[in-house]
Structure 1
């Protein structure tokens, strides 16, 4: 086992927010589940990562109850579950130690949000020397407000603002920023086809 699938922040916290109605991929759990099944069949390690903001009182506060995998996903008891408090999955966790102990050199990453926690993890992993595959259609994000947008915008105001960056633009930018520098970009279908060829 030299490969690991890192599933980042595919958690109910996001579904509990009004912004969920703008998510680029509301069925992200389906793509993630396909990747998890693929990893398990190959004997790869699956690592589940959840974002946590203890004491915040918001949807990422573990005390509120939303810091758990999306209901459609099932974690095996043998698969590590780690909680992070930073944007990437390394800085505030023992992820790197866990991967080193198991001799992991290749990472496949997916999750929520494309340009934030998933991309940041991919960049740092690359700098650490891991070979990274970024599964673009197994990520999801939301439209992003302009830096001068008023705080506390409603979803309607966010979508009506012509300066808002669409989720599609964000995903496209992430793909261009990572490809050939920090990660290989792939789709779930491409990875499934590759697995069938190797079999």
Structure 2
């Protein structure tokens, strides 16, 4: 085994946000489960990564009980579950040491958000020398407001603003930025055959 699947931030916290109604990939659990099943069948390591913001009182504060995999995803005994506090999965965790200990050289990346924690982890992993496959249809994101948008707007107001970046453009931009530089882009079907 020299490969690992990273499942990044596919956690209940995101389903508690208003913008979950505009998520790019409502079937992310199904897509990630296909990757997890395939990785387990191949004898690859599956690493579950969760994002926490301790003491913030937000849905990412572990004290509120939402920092766990979304219903339908279940780590099995022996699969590491790591909690991070930065955008990428390396800086505030022992992920690199864990991967080194297991002899991992190839990573498959899935999770939430496509352009944020998933893309950032992919870039860092590439810089650390890992061969990375980014599985776009096993990631998800939300529309992004323009930098000058007023704070506190409702989801309807965000979606109605022509300056809001839609999820299909976010996903395409991430693929352009990563492909051939930091990762190989793949689909769940290409990797699993299903």
Q: Common fold, TM-score beyond 0.5? A: yes
| Cα deviations by residue, 1:39-83 (Å, 9 ceiling, x for unpaired) | 000000000000000000000000001101001111102100000
The aligned length equals: 194
- Counterpart of 2:97 in structure 1 is 97
Which digits, 9 at most, give the CA deviation of each residue in 1:5-24, with x for residues without a partner?
A: 00000000000111100000
Alignment of 1:125-144 (within 5 A): 125-144=125-144
Query: Whole-Å Cα distance in 1 between the matches of residues 131 and 153 of structure 2?
Result: 39
Distance across 2 between alignment mates of 1:133 and 1:169: 20
Paired with 1:111 and 1:78, the residues of 2 have a C-alpha distance of: 20
Q: Distance in 1 between matches of 2:153 and 2:9?
A: 23
CA distance in 1, matches of 2:46, 2:124: 19
Q: CA deviation at 1:104?
A: 0.3
Structure 2 unaligned blocks of 5 or more: none
1:45 corresponds to: 45
Displacement of 1:153 in angstroms is 1.4
- Which residue number in structure 1 is paired with residue 60 of structure 2? 60
1:143-158 alignment, distance < 5 Å: 143-158=143-158
RMSD (Å), alpha carbons: 0.8
SS of match in other structure, 2:47: strand
Q: How far apart are residue 26 of structure 1 and its match?
A: 1.1
Which 5+ residue runs of structure 1 have no aligned equivalent?
A: none
TM-score by length of structure 1 reads 0.96
DSSP-derived class of the 1:151 partner: coil
Match of residue 192 from structure 2: 192
CA distance in 1, matches of 2:137, 2:153: 28
* Cα distance in 1 between the residues matched to 2:50 and 2:77: 16
Name the residue aligned to 1:114. Answer: 114
Q: Distance in 1 between matches of 2:23 and 2:192?
A: 25
Alpha-carbon distance between aligned partners in 2 of 1:89 and 1:26, rounded to the nearest angstrom: 23
1:120 is displaced (CA, Å) by 0.1
